[in-house]
Structure 1
Amino acid sequence: MVRYSVLDQSPVPRGGTAREALQNTVKLAQLAEQLGYHRFWISEHHLETLAHSSPEVLLPHIAAHTSTIRVGSGGVMLPHYSAYKVAENFRLLEALHPGRIDLGVGRAPGGIPLATAALQENKGAGGGDSYPQQIEDLVHYLSGSSDETHRFRGLKAMPEIDTVPQLWLLGSSGGSAGLASGQGISYAFAQFISGQHGGSVVKSYQRRFKPSILQKEPQALAAFFLVCAETDEKAEWQAKSMDVQMLKMARGETGEGILPPEEAAEYQFAPYEIQLVRENRKRMLVGSPETVRSQLLQLSEEYGTEEFMLASMNYYFADKKKGYELLAKAFS
């Protein structure tokens, strides 16, 4: 049985506002809960066209306006922050909403180099890659480990509670999968970022998984962009907005939000852009509910996983809601 979840990035469409985008994110979380989606994750970005700059601030608001769906970050960009502070933020969230909190972390910058420089302004220039150490520290702090060899031995992440937020490592490569399996934590493969088919990566993670203090069995999901409409033709019409947006972002044009499909329909692809669109479509599931359901069932076999995280970037919020409704009905 395939289990499906929602990733939302609070996209700000052209002509829209960040406040409206954030309000729509809360509405979408409530709808996802009503429709039976398993998780609702939000991302961290430092861009004008995506309103999620601080998942740890928005998450408690979403959790307070829902009651059963798991909510989490997809994800916190860990290199910008202290692992100890991230652990405390999410332990506090777990204390407020026990059994419902996911902590997804990644290493991508989530924005332009200038934003990264500002976020890491006061971090020492120690050199090397500290990300694996940060993941190890998170496991230590979240689990309440009493490891006497840890450099901050005796330090506990507060508050002290009897449940633990579920830790996920987000990535799109074998390196991140190896880190997740070695630390014994859950792994989310972000195909919507790279377009690389991750079946072999996820299966490698599952084979190499080493049980940890946080979990005994591997747990993996794969994430895709989603455009679902009543017919394949209508879905293709809606998806062209994303096709054009991805081309613009590849050219460094990040200041304008996604175009309405009526305007995107008029865009004429240059010959070289057609191949780029084909490559970008590897990041997306596009079609009617029956088409997308068939794609997910096939991907479930190829990935060896039963959970998928789906991110919709439709220009019209009504189209986004409709897509999730149609897919839920197809799997009901």
Structure 2
Amino acid sequence: MANNHQVKLSILDFVHIFKDSKPTESLMNSTEMAQLADKLGYTRYWFTEHHNTTSQISTSPDLLSMHAAAHTKNIRVGSGGIMLPNHSPFKVVENFTLLEALHPGRIDLGIGRASGTDGWTAWALQRSREALAANDFPEQLDHLISFFSRNFPRTHPFSNITPPGDPSLVPDIYMLGSSEGGLQFAIEKGLGFAFAANLAPQLAIPILRSYRKEFKPSLYMKEPKSILAIGVIAAETEQEAKYLAGPVELMWARMRTGSSKLSFPTLEEAQAHIYTPDEEAARNTNKDRFVIGNVNDVANQLRQMAKASLVDEIMIADFYPSQSSRLKGYQLLAEEFNLPLNR
């Protein structure tokens, strides 16, 4: 069980494209953030996979992981996650085997069950309507694991296909989840488990406790490894944190009410916005998706969540509204949690 001295911190980067900025600037921001997180002692830095959006450029977490790993020294990097329905399991294994060979012991493969996008874009990614309706994730996951472990039955048509390198080149594999579906795969396959509390806050604690209780050891993990992911906005004062949280609160309220305005709002736009009754209701519903406040209060809440859910690691879903605020926020949290600095 986590205590005040054992809680590790990690970061989940959506590579947001802020208003009036360019994708290149967003990528430079992520590079700077990964390097700072590395120096501050954060445990891992993951990238999401999203498609057909003008406000994010996190379409390829494997490529982003390659870049981040090459520009850091100690921090683990990886996907949060690879949306497996969009990919060939064999190609995922090839890519992450290569990453592991280039950066031994620093690569994570987080796997998601959804497409991370809308139906039309999923069709474009998966190349056929039949693939969209297949619902074959269990088979995909089995194939991915068998390629890594090279243990297909002799009669399987893939038994003679060999990934590059040797069987030791395996990243740490995590199942992502926001429901019991992802949980069961993590338990049965003996994988790590990262729960998106920003998507399903009420389920986080019971599901993460179930994972710890029911985990079955495997070739990939002998003991359970669990992570709670949650949106965090930390600042020196509560007033400042609430101001910085304005854009993400407005964006999520708009998503909940079906608005077509889904770009990341500016601080000025959020501060001037007058919420409709429906938006205000959505904003209140969304409160548990985030931890917002001065750094001391935020740290106490995160420690309580870690203890209740039996995790020793919190992953911060990054929703800061600017590069300066995110750099400052992560610096404050690292100091508050006394993370081990990497010189």
Instruction: Identify the TM-score tier after normalising by the shorter chain.
Output: over 0.9
Q: Residue 6 of structure 1 corresponds to which residue in structure 2?
A: 11
Q: Does 1:227 align with 2:242?
A: no
Q: CA deviation at 1:192?
A: 1.4
* Post-superposition offset of 1:15: 1.2
Mapped to 1, the partners of 2:10 and 2:308 lie a distance apart of 18
Residue 312 of structure 1 deviates from its aligned partner by: 2.1
Please tell me whether residue 31 in structure 1 is matched to residue 57 in structure 2: no
Query: Do the aligned partners of 1:241 and 1:260 also contact (CA within 8 Å) in 2?
Result: yes
Counterparts of residues 1-332 of structure 1 (less than 5 Å) = 1-46=6-51, 47-122=53-128, 124-125=130-131, 127-145=133-151, 147-148=153-154, 150-160=156-166, 162-253=168-259, 257-332=263-338
Which stretch of structure 1 is more off in the superposition, 302-311 or 265-274? 265-274
Moved more, 116-125 or 242-251: 116-125
Alpha-carbon distance in 2 for matches of 1:26, 1:319: 15
2:43 and 2:87 map into 1 onto residues whose CA distance is 28
Letter of the structure 2 residue corresponding to residue 296 of structure 1: L
Mark the runs of 5 or more structure 2 residues left unpaired by the alignment.
1-5, 339-343
* Residues 9 and 42, structure 2, Cα contact 8 Å, conserved in 1: yes
Please give the per-residue CA displacement for 1:113-140, whole angstroms capped at 9, x wherever unaligned. 2211100114744954211121122221
CA RMSD of aligned residues (A): 1.8
Give 5+ residue unaligned stretches, structure 1: none
**d(CA) in 2 for partners of 1:153 and 1:59?**
29
Sequence identity (%): 37
1:297 CA displacement: 1.0
| Partner Cα distance (2:74, 2:167) in 1 | 19
Q: In structure 1, what is the Cα distance between the partners aligned to 2:261 and 2:28? A: 21
- Describe the superposition over 1:15-72 as per-residue Cα deviations: whole angstroms up to 9, x where unpaired: 1111111110111000000110000001111111111111122211111111110000
Contact 1:227–1:284, Cα closer than 8 Å, also in 2: yes
* Separation (CA, whole Å) in 2 of partners of 1:111 and 1:33: 30
Q: Please report how far the alpha carbon of residue 251 of structure 1 lies from its aligned counterpart in structure 2 after TM superposition.
A: 4.3
TM-score, normalization by structure 1? 0.95
Following superposition, the deviation at residue 292 of structure 1 comes to 0.9
Q: Distance in 1 between matches of 2:323 and 2:188?
A: 40
| Higher mean displacement: 123-132 or 73-82 | 123-132
Structure 2 SS opposite 1:299 = helix
Q: Match of 1:219, as an amino acid?
A: K
Deviates more, 1:6-15 or 1:160-169: 160-169
Code of the residue aligned with 1:92 in structure 2: it is L
Distance in structure 2 (CA, Å) of the matches to 1:210 and 1:282: 30
Deviations along 1:241-292, whole A, 9 cap, x unmatched? 1111112233444665322222211112223322211221211111111011
Structure 1 residues 112 and 126: CA distance shift in structure 2, 3 A: closer
